[in-house]
Structure 1
Amino acid sequence: MGRIPASTGTWIGIILLLIMGMDMARTSAELENKSSSAGLFWSTAKEEGDLVHKAGPADDSTAASEDLDGGFSSLDGMLQWAIGHSDTAKLKETAQDVQRLSPSELKQRQLELKELVEKLKMPSDAQLMQIALDDLNNSSLSLEDRHRALQELLILVEPIDNANDLCKLGGLVVIIRELNHPDTDVRKISAWILGKASQNNPFVQKQVLELGALAKLMKMVKSSSADEAIKAFYAVSALIRGNAAGQELFYTEAGDKMLQGILSSPGVDIRLHRKAVFLVADLAECQLENIDHTEMPFFSNHFFLKSVVDLTASTDLDLQEKALVAIKNLLQLRTTEAVVFKDFCGLGDALEKMKQQLEDLMLEEYHRDYAMDVEGLRKEVELIFQAKLGKGVRVPT
């Protein structure tokens, strides 16, 4: 990455030379007709330190600034930065030194300084990603530097264009390889990167799935490290949400058993419970939106449904809300049976207990608004449940 030189005087000289050269290098005759400031003037005494460039209609600095632009938005931006970090007396002295240069000397200095500015240009996001990937491909890289490279990629892949560029750079292969690293944090951040890159991005989803990362990520969900498991589950969700091929592969890899195992285990980190039940709600919603597709058998599995209903007994309002959304979607599927929800899952009793709990919470000012919102959702679920019970044992297909 380009760095600002330690001496701001260096930058001042560079910028003054480049800007003044645009005016001074035209002809020596023009130089004689210029004011003593040679295209630069001092403003009022109050602002004596502010050096401003006069740009007329025929000024060609715009084109030049586009060529020289690096870490600054424009050459003018570079000038303003240099002025703002300069000493007034030194700035005047530098300007006078520049004015003493002959046109040929100025021309030569311009060429030299242009090369320097090019070297100092800020690299693009793609270049930064390539640098990080090169680091990760270095077998002698320290663990600390490996973490740093991964953290940089985690930030860079946020924009969808950058995520696509990561694919084109061959970065997915590198990141997926890091899922096998012995260090927990390396595996965790790598999974996180894949999740971010895949989020709502069919192009990346397809590449990651074809590289076989889903099965590895699903195994990582069982990690003894809660943070690793959560980031791996995040990546799994990002890969299959809104992706039919990803969902089919997820089911083939026994994703339903993975979900049920998480939902039915009281010792699992509550953050993983939330993510798992949220994914269930999303998968059921996807099924509702694609009514022509055959519904997956696990949606009507009695034990699976009970594991979702049991989450309504949690004291965590966020988890309760997510469980209600999942139950709402599951109730509307063709293959789920109302009597199973009633007799095997105990949904009626669960909804009644939740009602009492929410009424108590509504007495507390801190929880009132949120509890009222959850109660509205609970009532909606209760109405759907009662309507489905009224249709008989099974909703007609």
Structure 2
Amino acid sequence: MERVSSWMLVVMVMVMAVRAERNINRSGGVYWSTAEEEALAQTQTQTKARDDDTAVTDLDADGGFSSLEGMLQWAIGHSDPVQLKETARDVEKLSPTDLSNRQVEIKQLMDELKTPSDAQLMQVAINDLSNSSLSLEDRHRALEELLILVEPIDNANDLNKLGGLVVVTRELDHSDADTRKMAAWVLGKASQNNPIVQKQVLELGALSKLMKMVKSDYAEEATKALYAVSALIRNNVAGQELFYEEAGHLLLQNIMSESSIDIRLRRKAVFLLGDLAECQLENREKDELPFFSSRIFLKSVVDLTSSADLDLQEKALVALKNLLQLKTTEALVFKDFCGLDGALERLRQRLQDLMVEEEHRDYVMDVERLWSEVQQIFDRKLEKHGRFPYDGNAILHQHYLLGDVWYSCVYVMLLIMDLYISNILI
């Protein structure tokens, strides 16, 4: 009977709490308020608090409880201990039928407190963003809520049906940089690996706005904008074509070439380049775009292997691995103009130095495997151009880079013979 009494006491307290909730919330049930309603309710609550020292402080600003636990605590705290004891005694006298009826009652009351669906929560945030008089704080809050809600692909697909994509895209033109940043972030999150949303966002003309934001002096805005650009055009041929029409390759080149630019932006730029090159490899029937074989463009990628940032180095290697496999990129451009052979050797030396440090050992092992792949692809590409007709020449070339005099002489002689034979055959 002790257990029944305790349980039913909780039930009765919950019933009282729900009834109190109903009385406090004059609309007849729990509701989820917009920012405007919250502000009005907050003002009313503060006014009432000044007139009544016993004002309920455990309630949310919209007149509701923040959780069932909060509701229970409020009910216990605002109940008469004597009455609670009497209620407990009454519970002990209830018949099984009465207990069952009380269970039905509490279930009905709890059904009224169901958490709203994600679609309903998104609609509240969208309605807030549609309010031109909304404060910046509430605008940021609405965007933060959408950022979480659009992560599941089904929710992302619902965003446009609710009018959310139009509203969020409009925020890209907001005068506040943080609002623009958050809007770009939401669009990027919703578009990631989602062809349906990618198409919808591209049709709204968001790509052009995002690419302009990438040039912002505010690093946070630029980084989130490039994140959104990457999400929009990843595995999306139509999006990539629009990106190239907007001179996106020059945008990437400028970011990669400028060492003063935020390192996060440079990482995202070279990562996007590697992704675009990989997409080109997967669609070999399509003509390769000219910028992939541009000397200056390729050199900007090779130079990143000398960066002090390990993550940037690794992403540069991934991009080079894909670029080297393209048909239009020339091995001699990589070697003579970009200095890829020297860059790879310097990177190899650095990896060896890092191997001594235990904290970097796992990283070094992964990057060394990637480095080896790039070196092998590079050597094969050189062989196809007649620069290394024999495997032994690659070894001689490595000794040449290390400054070994005897090997250097042999290496130079073989190069001369190579050119001589090539001219005779021509």
Q: Same fold (TM over 0.5)?
A: yes
1:349 pairs with 334, 337, 342, which one? 342
Q: Hey, what does 1:133 align to over in structure 2? A: 126
1:146 pairs with 136, 139, 143, which one? 139
2:242 pairs with 241, 249, 253, which one? 249
Distance apart, 1:117 and its partner CA: 4.5
Contact 1:14 1:113 in 2 (8 A): no
Q: SS of the counterpart of 1:372?
A: helix
Q: Hey, what does 1:31 align to over in structure 2? A: none
Distance apart, 1:380 and its partner CA: 1.3
Contact 2:11 2:106 in 1 (8 A): no
1:11 aligns with 2:4: no
Contact 1:361 1:368 in 2 (8 A): yes
Contact 2:13 2:72 in 1 (8 A): no
More helix by share: 2
Q: Hey, what does 1:322 align to over in structure 2? A: 315
Distance apart, 1:274 and its partner CA: 0.7
Q: Hey, what does 2:215 align to over in structure 1? A: 222
Q: Hey, what does 2:281 align to over in structure 1? A: 288
The Cα RMSD (Å) is 3.4
Shift of the 157–91 alpha-carbon distance from structure 1 to 2, 3 Å rule, reads: farther
1:96-135 deviation line (CA, Å, top 9, x unaligned): 668889x9xx999978994x65543211100000001111
Q: Hey, what does 1:28 align to over in structure 2? A: none
1:239 aligns with 2:232: yes
Contact 2:331 2:381 in 1 (8 A): yes
Q: Hey, what does 1:199 align to over in structure 2? A: 192
Alpha-carbon distance between aligned partners in 2 of 1:138 and 1:350, rounded to the nearest angstrom: 54
1:370 pairs with 356, 363, 369, which one? 363
Q: SS of the counterpart of 1:175?
A: helix
Q: Hey, what does 2:270 align to over in structure 1? A: 277
Percent pairwise identity:
66
Q: SS of the counterpart of 1:366?
A: helix
Distance apart, 1:164 and its partner CA: 0.7
Alpha-carbon distance between aligned partners in 2 of 1:91 and 1:245, rounded to the nearest angstrom: 68
Q: Hey, what does 1:340 align to over in structure 2? A: 333
1:381 aligns with 2:374: yes
1:221-277 deviation line (CA, Å, top 9, x unaligned): 000110100000000000000111111111111111111111111111111111111
What amino acid is aligned across from residue 327 of structure 2 in structure 1?
R
Gaps of 5+ in 2: 1-9, 20-65, 388-426
Contact 2:17 2:72 in 1 (8 A): no
Alpha-carbon distance between aligned partners in 2 of 1:236 and 1:134, rounded to the nearest angstrom: 26
Shift of the 252–246 alpha-carbon distance from structure 1 to 2, 3 Å rule, reads: same
Distance apart, 1:297 and its partner CA: 1.2
Shift of the 109–361 alpha-carbon distance from structure 1 to 2, 3 Å rule, reads: closer
Alpha-carbon distance between aligned partners in 2 of 1:94 and 1:15, rounded to the nearest angstrom: 17
Alpha-carbon distance between aligned partners in 1 of 2:18 and 2:258, rounded to the nearest angstrom: 65
Instruction: Give the structure-2-normalised TM-score.
Output: 0.69
Shift of the 354–86 alpha-carbon distance from structure 1 to 2, 3 Å rule, reads: same
Contact 1:284 1:326 in 2 (8 A): yes
Shift of the 133–96 alpha-carbon distance from structure 1 to 2, 3 Å rule, reads: farther
Contact 1:195 1:238 in 2 (8 A): yes
Q: SS of the counterpart of 2:131?
A: coil
Contact 1:339 1:393 in 2 (8 A): no
Alpha-carbon distance between aligned partners in 2 of 1:316 and 1:171, rounded to the nearest angstrom: 38
Query: Which consecutive segments of 4 or more residues in structure 1 shift more than 6 A?
Result: 85-92, 98-101, 106-113
Shift of the 94–316 alpha-carbon distance from structure 1 to 2, 3 Å rule, reads: same
Q: Hey, what does 1:190 align to over in structure 2? A: 183
Superposed, which structure 2 residues align to 1:290-305 within 5 Å? Answer: 290-305=283-298
What amino acid is aligned across from residue 126 of structure 2 in structure 1?
L
Gaps of 5+ in 1: 1-6, 17-70, 73-77
Q: Hey, what does 1:122 align to over in structure 2? A: 115
Q: SS of the counterpart of 1:151?
A: helix
Instruction: Give the structure-1-normalised TM-score.
Output: 0.74
Q: Hey, what does 1:260 align to over in structure 2? A: 253
Distance apart, 1:86 and its partner CA: 6.4
Q: How many positions carry a matched residue from both structures?
A: 325
1:331 pairs with 324, 335, 338, which one? 324
Alpha-carbon distance between aligned partners in 2 of 1:111 and 1:156, rounded to the nearest angstrom: 33
Contact 1:337 1:393 in 2 (8 A): no
What amino acid is aligned across from residue 226 of structure 1 in structure 2?
A
Contact 2:191 2:232 in 1 (8 A): yes
Contact 2:293 2:330 in 1 (8 A): yes
Alpha-carbon distance between aligned partners in 1 of 2:164 and 2:223, rounded to the nearest angstrom: 22
Q: SS of the counterpart of 2:132?
A: coil
Alpha-carbon distance between aligned partners in 1 of 2:116 and 2:367, rounded to the nearest angstrom: 49
